[in-house]
């Protein structure tokens, strides 16, 4: 699906154009074309490949999707794959993807399996004509920067969820539920880490002495993205370490609760064992058992059993077993 197709010259918008006229504008000096597609079909990608001269391997990656975040050079063009992450109404993490082709006089973005649009990015670029004069390199920066900036609210949401679970770790009986929530959170953090970590290394290719020609004018901006990614990586590592600690603490709390139950069961078993001992002794069928002939024998036996069990109960209660 074609979202928009716009031609720019010297930092200003020329016109919304049909795809058939792309080649007419690309040959004009100082002009570049910015095309945005969503869930593009094979024939749409084939048309764009013919218009822009895209590399076969890059188009194949965009067609099949499910790629690891990366930035690759193909001649004088750059191909970038970024993950789009968003929380759905059930608080599950939904994974999408955007593929960006950037050349000397064109930018093509292909968004797949995501509701997150980039209209705000286009508006931002058009409000900054001085930067837009840098051409396709600045548009590539703006798109990558928009994706990276959307990771920060996710990190904040994951941190808030982790704090909520930590507040419930010491609640009695919440061990199993906490462990399930911690592992679900760990899965979300892992997905976010898989989106950020490869991109941190990839963006490093877009600034410095060996940066692609299309990115040279915007090298400082890509360095700023690298700083943002480094901050995200640090936050993600901190969350992962905290989750690991929380899981260990939660498992320890479960073990402590199980030990408490075991101690209570052992205490009651000891009390009933004493009662069973006395009853077993007086239940033996020997002829000469003097206490059996006494009128006070039965109440005395019950009293001794009750007193002994009561003393053991008091003792276990005092040491915290009951």
pLDDT tens, position by position, 22-48: 888 888 888 889 999 998 888 989 999
In this predicted structure, the answer to whether residue 62 has a pLDDT above a threshold of 70 is yes
Tell whether the model's pLDDT for residue 304 goes beyond 90.
no
Residue 130 has pLDDT above 80, yes or no: yes
Of residues 221 and 65, which shows the higher confidence score?
A: 221
pLDDT exceeds 80 at position 172:
no
Q: Evaluate if residue 294 carries a pLDDT over 70.
A: no
Q: What is residue 288's predicted lDDT score, i.e. its pLDDT? A: 62
Beta strands in the chain (DSSP E): 2-9, 12-16, 31-38, 70-74, 77-87, 93-103, 106-112
Is 256's pLDDT higher than 80? no
Look at residue 55 and give its three-state secondary structure: coil
Tell me the helix, strand and coil percentages in the chain, rounded to 5.
60, 15, 20
Which domains occur in the chain, in start order? Answer: 1-126 (3.30.460.20), 255-318 (1.20.58.340)
pLDDT at 292: 65
Are 19 and 13 a contacting pair, CB within 8 Å? no
Average pLDDT, whole number, for the chain? Answer: 85
Tokens read off for 249: 């603490």
The reported pLDDT for the residue numbered 194 is 92
Mean pLDDT for the stretch of residues 234-253: 88
- Residue 134's pLDDT band, with cuts at 50, 70 and 90, is confident
Average pLDDT in the 246-273 region?
79
Residue count of the chain, please give it: 322
Output the pLDDT for position 151: 93
- Among the listed residues 72, 30, 78, the one whose alpha carbon sits nearest the alpha carbon of residue 52: 78
For 239-253, what is the mean pLDDT? 86
72-116 pLDDT, tens digit each: 988 888 999 999 998 887 778 889 999 999 998 999 999 888 888
pLDDT band at 229 (very low <50, low <70, confident <90, very high): very high
Q: How distant, in Å, are the alpha carbons of 149, 231, 285 from that of 226? A: 12, 9, 89
């Amino acid at each position: 699906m074609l979202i928009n197709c716009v031609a720019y010259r010297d930092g200003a918008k020329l016109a919304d154009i049909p795809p058939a006229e792309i080649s007419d504008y690309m040959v004009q000096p100082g002009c570049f074309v910015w095309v945005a597609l969503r869930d593009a079909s094979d024939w749409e990608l084939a048309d764009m490949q013919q218009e822009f001269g895209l590399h076969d391997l890059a188009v194949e990656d965009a067609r099949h999707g499910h790629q690891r975040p990366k930035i690759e050079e193909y001649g004088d063009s750059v191909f970038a794959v970024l993950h789009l992450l968003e929380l759905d109404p059930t608080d599950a993490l939904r994974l999408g993807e955007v593929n960006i082709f950037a050349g000397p006089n064109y930018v093509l973005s292909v968004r797949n399996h995501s509701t997150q649009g980039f209209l705000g990015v286009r508006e931002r670029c058009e409000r900054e004509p001085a930067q837009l004069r840098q051409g396709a390199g600045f548009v590539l920066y703006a798109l990558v920067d928009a994706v990276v900036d959307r990771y920060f609210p996710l990190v904040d949401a994951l941190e808030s969820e982790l704090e909520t679970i930590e507040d419930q770790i010491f609640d009695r009986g919440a061990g199993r539920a906490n462990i399930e929530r911690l592992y679900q959170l760990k899965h979300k953090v892992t997905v976010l880490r898989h989106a950020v970590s490869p991109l941190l290394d990839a963006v490093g290719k877009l600034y410095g002495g060996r940066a692609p020609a299309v990115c040279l004018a915007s090298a400082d901006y890509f360095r700023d993205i690298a700083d943002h990614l480094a901050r995200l990586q640090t936050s993600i590592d901190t969350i992962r370490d905290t989750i690991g600690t929380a899981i260990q603490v939660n498992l320890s709390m479960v073990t402590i609760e199980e030990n408490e139950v075991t101690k209570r069961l052992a205490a009651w078993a000891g009390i009933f064992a004493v009662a069973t001992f006395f009853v077993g002794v007086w239940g033996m069928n020997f002829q000469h058992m003097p206490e059996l002939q006494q009128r006070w024998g039965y109440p005395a036996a019950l009293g001794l059993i009750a007193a002994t069990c009561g003393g053991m109960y008091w003792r276990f209660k005092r040491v915290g077993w009951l």
